Amino acid sequence: MLIEIAVLLGFGCLSGVTTVLFGFGGGFITVPVVYAFALAEPEHALGAMHVAVATSTAVMVVNSGSATLAQLRTGRLRRDYLWPLIAFIGLGAVLGSFAATAADESVLRWLFVAYLALTIVDSLVRKGFVSRRDDTRPRALGGLTVTAGGTGIGAVASFLGVGGSVLTVPLLRRKGLPMADAAALANPLSLPVAVIGTAVYAFAATGTSSSAAHLGYIDLVAAGALLCGSLPTIAVTRRVVGRIPDRAHAIAYLGLLVAALIAIVIR
Express each pLDDT in 45-103 by its tens digit. Answer: 557 777 887 888 888 888 888 888 877 777 778 888 888 889 998 888 888 877 766 76
Read off the pLDDT band of 26 (50, 70, 90): low
- Residue 157 above 50 pLDDT? yes
> What DSSP state is assigned to residue 186?
H
Overall size of the chain counted in residues: 267
Express each pLDDT in 158-168 by its tens digit. Answer: 776 666 777 78
Express each pLDDT in 194-233 by its tens digit. Answer: 888 788 878 875 544 445 688 888 888 888 889 998 888 8
> What DSSP state is assigned to residue 215?
E
Better pLDDT: 142 or 40? 142
Whole-number pLDDT of residue 207: 47
Whole-number pLDDT of residue 112: 72
Q: Which residues pair with 214 in a beta bridge?
A: 219
DSSP code per residue over the chain: -HHHHHHHHHHHHHHHHHHHHH--TTHHHHHHHHHHHHHTSTTTGGGHHHHHHHHHHHHHHHHHHHHHHHHGGGT---HHHHTTHHHHHHHHHHHHHHHHHHS-HHHHHHHHHHHHHHHHHHHHHSTTSS---TTPPP-PPPHHIIIIIHHHHHHHHHHHTSTTHHHHHHHHHHTT--HHHHHHHHHHHHHHHHHHHHHHHHT---GGGGSTTEETTEEHHHHHHHHHHHHHHHHHHTTTTT-S-HHHHHHHHHHHHHHHHHHHHH-
Better pLDDT: 172 or 135? 172
Express each pLDDT in 102-152 by its tens digit. Answer: 767 677 667 778 877 887 888 788 776 777 666 567 788 888 888 988 888
Whole-structure pTM value: 0.74
- Residue 18 above 60 pLDDT? yes
Chain centroid to CA 188: 11
Whole-number pLDDT of residue 263: 67
Whole-number pLDDT of residue 208: 45
38 Cβ neighbours under 8 A, 6+ residues apart = 44, 45, 47, 48, 49, 51, 52, 219
Whole-number pLDDT of residue 162: 66
Cis bond before residue 84 (omega within 30° of 0): yes
Three-class DSSP category at 142 = coil
